[in-house]
Structure 1
Amino acid sequence: MTKIYGTVSAGFEEVRTEFAAAAAAEAGLGAQLAVYLYGRQVVDLWTGDGVTGDSLHALYSSAKGAAHLVAALLVQDGVLKLDATVASYWPEFAAEGKGDLTLRDLLAHRAGLIGVEGGFSTAELADDRLLAARLAGRRPHWRPGAGYGYHAFVIGALVGEVIRRATGRTLQQVYEERVRAPYGLDFYLGLPEALEPRYVAVQPLLPHERAMAEANAPAPDSLTGIAFNLNATPPTDLTDFANTRAVRALGPASSGSVGNARGLAGMYAAAISEIDGRPPLLDPGTLAEFTRPHSTGPDLVTGERDHFLLGFEAQAVRYPDLGADAFGHSGAVGAQSFADPRSGIAYAYTRRRFSFGGGGGAPENRRLVPAVLRAAADARP
């Protein structure tokens, strides 16, 4: 029998039941689930050999949620202007017809700058400064602003370079100072070496899953292949990538986050809720701006329809019971995290082993999220 550890508040027992069912359905699943309701933690669960509530996992593109939260804070402060051109902050970016692209369009994945011919090395993918330097002079893969597509490995570096030019601080430094450290969050863009003993290595797909994934892999020279660095030699292996210390140490803001469900949910809770006397990080105007749709139709890279709000992934597309302004980001291993202002929920689910067929968040989230919302509806003040 699969053991489930941790606690749930009264009224959230169904969430524990669904979490146990997910663990029972997948042998060897190592996972965590944390949920906040109006700034108060109501779910704290974990399962799996070698996994505790404190374990730190590779959370891949969950980093993008932190990156876009930092961008939103700097827009809120007036340091960044959404309708200013990227080149007004970063002149080199204007090359190859990109001079008119605005920060708003960049955040909305409309730059067309998803990758480069021949792909990136692991050293480049790990270091946002190297990525930004290589991308600045590149020709986009579609006319900037004319369509949108997931900038999988590079959006954090592009937005981060704008932030560095505007503030003199890296995105990672601003995140640490404004978000992670003040709230004591176990969610990192740059994992300190002292915390390495708490890192639980990613487990890859099972052999039959890997064979199926390889059989259905996109062509390396397709937009999808380029965006996911499958045109590199060798193509990027996500398991090896996350299990590389240099990646965890540098914390690239597209792909290199490390943390646990408590820390990730705590970040989204801080974005929308009062916590320990601190007001929400995002004021109503900023929240409204960053949680309205900025692109419609299919994503040119993933094919997902109506994929993004402003930077953040639109969550109601995947989980229809959420409010239209629910915002967050998934992570390649099957992680899912978001804030839902309508219900007051902040949610984070992490996994140790890759989910096969998750489509931006492991399939079990489609049962866990409704269970959380049902419990939250009964628990509203």
Structure 2
Amino acid sequence: MVGSTVGGTVAAGWEPVREAFEAFVAAEPHAPEAQLAVRHHGRTVVDLWGGEDTDGDTLSGVFSITKGAAHLVVALLVQDGVLDPERPVSSYWPEFTGDGKEGLTLRQLVAHGSGLIGVDGGFPYEEIADDAAVAARLVGQKPYWEPGTAYGYHAFVIGALTGEVVRRVTGRSLQEVYEERVRAPYGLDLYMGLPQESRGRWKPILEMLPTPAQAAVLAAGGPLPEPMRIAFNANGRTPMDPVTYANHPRVLTLGPASAGGVGTARGVAALYAAAISGTEDRPALLDPATAAEVARPHAPGVDRVTSEVDHFGFGFERQHAVGPEAFGHCGAAGGLGFADPVTGIAYGYTRRRYGFPGGMAPENGPLTAAVLKAARGA
């Protein structure tokens, strides 16, 4: 790979993480345009980047890593007593009725149990960028399974559904609550709605460039199963392209809470540090009981969309490779963010080059292993 470089720093004792990152970047056939940031008990110990046109300040779309920020807002409101996870969603959102929706609890909704994984005919880009518009469509949609009886990944709509509950109870959008309670006070480089003054640092998500072998795997995969087509908004006349979605001007402006966030790996790691450890002179956002609650399994069994097993805690994805107390969320281009209260790790990894095959990229395995080994030896 010509021209790709690794920059940044690591603290003493964390050199093996840099070695793992350098090995991955060197092995990639195309520049990944990736960032890796790690905080340990709130202190930055890893700050790296690799590629031809990316540094530590480069902002880009983080896809479903955004869900971690959104679910942190919901967890905070539950912790404050503003939201009750056992109450029906309809008690906050009276129009949320019909076809079994009225019995769905907030806990079941946040754990992807509503059955409202999309809408018949799909959403156009202009609409799916607007959480209020998405919620208005979904409330009239017949669920794709009986609400509360199963779960499946609500890839592009979960933030609109939970966001409407937040709006009904607080009078503020989820994005506004995130800005006021989390992003601004903790100085996070992770946005739901990219501010004008930060747009000079933004660079677009780049298309996947598969190797011939990878292209053959993609070609042999065939069409997506119907639940995935609906959940990933590929069921319209023109299937949605995720790269176009992430770079769409309306998505950048509105910051839809399911997958429309923009940030850096530093911002992702700082989000999770804020959740469990605090940052600088600010305390942790979540108390230990709440952190344990969001990590515990809320939806046992097989995900009807992705076929993953025991996929979700309280909205956050369970981190099986890290430990039962860890919680976080991956992003479609390959990124990942998570917190592990046991080791005190807050991990943020982003990449602008869409990785094969999509979803959490395989390099997160060795990178996470190197981070956890360093943390346990620190």
TM over 0.5: yes
Structure 1 residue ranges without an equivalent (≥5):
none
Name whichever of 145-154 and 208-217 sits farther off: 208-217
Residue 343 (structure 1) aligns with: 343
- For residue 78 of structure 2, what is the aligned residue in structure 1? 75
User: Residue 96 of structure 1 aligns with which residue?
Assistant: 99
Q: Residue 295 and residue 40 in structure 1: after superposition, are their counterparts in 2 closer, same or farther (change >3 A)?
A: same
What is the TM-score with the length of structure 1 in the denominator?
0.95
Give the aligned CA root-mean-square deviation in angstroms: 1.4
Conserved in 2, the CA contact under 8 Å of 1:357 and 1:363?
Answer: no
1:34 aligns with 2:37: yes
The answer as to 2:23 corresponding to 1:24 is: no
Residue number among 266, 279, 283 corresponding to 1:279 in the alignment:
283
Q: Distance in 2 between matches of 1:273 and 1:302?
A: 32
Question: 2:328 corresponds to which residue?
Answer: 328
CA distance in 2 between counterparts of 1:214 and 1:164 reads: 43
Which structure 2 residue ranges, 5 or more long, are not aligned? none
**In the alignment, what sits opposite 1:12?**
14
Structure 1 counterpart of 2:266: 262
Deviation at 1:277, TM superposition (A): 2.7
The percent identity for this pair of structures is 58
Match of 1:55 among 54, 58, 69: 58
2:221 paired residue number: 216
Tell me the CA shift for residue 51 of structure 1: 0.4
Q: Deviations over 1:233-285 (max 9, x none)?
A: 21000111111111111000001010000011000000000322322100122
Aligned to 2:5: 3
Alpha-carbon distance in 2 for matches of 1:12, 1:274:
21
Would you say 1:66 and 2:78 are equivalent positions?
Answer: no
Alignment of 1:1-381 (within 5 A): 2-26=4-28, 27-206=30-209, 208=212, 212-213=217-218, 215-219=220-224, 222-316=226-320, 319=321, 322-358=322-358, 360-379=359-378
SS for the counterpart of 1:33 is: strand
The Cα of 1:213 is off from its aligned counterpart by 3.2
Shift of 1:95: 2.3
Give distance in 1, aligned partners of 2:190 and 2:222: 30
Structure 2 CA distance for aligned equivalents of residues 158 and 142 of structure 1: 16
Where 1:10 maps in the other structure, the secondary structure is coil
**Deviation for aligned residue 1:294:** 0.8
SS at match of 1:196: helix
Inter-CA distance 168–210: structure 2 relative to 1 (3 Å threshold): farther
For the residue of structure 2 that corresponds to 1:147, the secondary structure is: coil
Shift of 1:212: 4.6
Report the AA paired with residue 261 of structure 1.
A
TM-aligned CA deviation for residue 4 of structure 1: 1.2
Q: Secondary structure at the match of 1:376?
A: helix
Decide whether the 8 Å contact of 1:62 with 1:335 is kept in 2.
yes
For structure 1, which segment, 59-68 or 279-288, has the greater mean C-alpha deviation from structure 2 after superposition? 279-288
Task: Name the SS for the 1:230 alignment partner.
Answer: coil
How many Å apart are 1:164 and its aligned residue? 0.1
TM-score when normalising by structure 2? 0.96
Deviations 1:29-69 (A, max 9, x none): 21000000000000000011110100001101011000100
Q: Structure 1 residues 290, 8: closer, same or farther in 2, change over 3 A?
A: same
Partners of 1:247 and 1:274 lie apart in 2 by 29
Change (3 A) 1:116 1:210: farther
Q: Is the 8 A contact 1:329 1:338 kept in 2?
A: yes
Q: Which amino acid in 1 is paired with 2:367? A: L
Shift of 1:298: 1.1
Range 186-195 or range 66-75, more displaced = 186-195
State how far apart, in whole Å, the 1-side matches of 2:129 and 2:326 are: 29
Q: Using the alignment, how far apart are the partners of 1:80 and 1:175 within structure 2? A: 15
1:184 to partner: Cα distance: 0.9
Aligned residues between the structures: 373
Deviations 1:79-128 (A, max 9, x none): 10000110001011112221010000000101111011111111111000
